[in-house]
């Protein structure tokens, strides 16, 4: 797999955050592309982390942080536990559908707009939420790099 460098652009803060978040989303999905179901659900480290769990977890993170906390929508928070009937294809489709909803919310909000729901968390604004999701997604895409290499030997972003 050829190494794909992060996008470089001279856009503003919103465009830069959005492009880098999408790059990290895509990086994770490149790691799971072509992986069979058994390998995707197989935990290869003592923590139990699997490629399938990573996809489910990042969908959950975007749902919680943008749709629930920031936008205040009454949405079902997806479970990121890998269930017997989960498939990688369904998890990828659900994650991509979440991007669409998240990106629609983000496109129509100011970066300094506060979260509508703070639950038991400290207050934050959309800028912080996007930076947090970028960090979380990049971190887990890195985990996907390691797990993917253990599964099929492929390297690269």
Q: Which two tokens stand for residue 2?
A: 């050829």
- What is the reported pTM? 0.93
Q: Going from the N-terminus, what domains does the chain have, and what CATH number goes with each? A: 13-152 (1.20.120.450)
For the chain, helix, strand, coil in percent to 5 are: 60, 0, 40
pLDDT band at 121 (very low <50, low <70, confident <90, very high): confident
Mean of the per-residue pLDDT values of the chain: 92
Quote the pLDDT of residue 157.
Answer: 59
Q: Which two tokens stand for residue 17?
A: 């955050």
DSSP 70-139: IT----PPPP-SPPTT--HHHHHHHHHHHHHHHHHHHHTS-TTPBPS--TTSPP-BHHHHHHHHHHHHHH
Report which of residues 2 and 84 the model is more confident about. Answer: 84
């Amino acid at each position: 797999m050829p190494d794909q460098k992060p996008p470089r652009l001279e856009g503003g803060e919103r465009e830069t955050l959005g492009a880098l978040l999408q790059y990290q989303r895509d990086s994770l999905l490149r790691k799971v592309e072509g992986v069979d179901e058994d390998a995707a659900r197989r935990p290869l480290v003592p923590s139990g982390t699997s490629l399938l769990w990573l996809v489910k977890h990042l969908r959950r993170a975007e749902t919680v942080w943008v749709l629930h906390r920031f936008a205040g929508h009454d949405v079902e928070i997806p479970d990121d536990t890998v269930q017997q009937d989960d498939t990688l294809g369904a998890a990828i489709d659900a994650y991509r559908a979440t991007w669409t909803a998240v990106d629609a919310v983000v496109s129509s909000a100011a970066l300094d707009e506060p979260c509508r729901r703070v639950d038991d968390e400290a207050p934050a604004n959309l800028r912080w939420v996007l930076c947090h999701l970028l960090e979380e997604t990049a971190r887990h895409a890195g985990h996907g790099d390691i797990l993917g290499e253990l599964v099929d030997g492929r390297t690269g972003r």
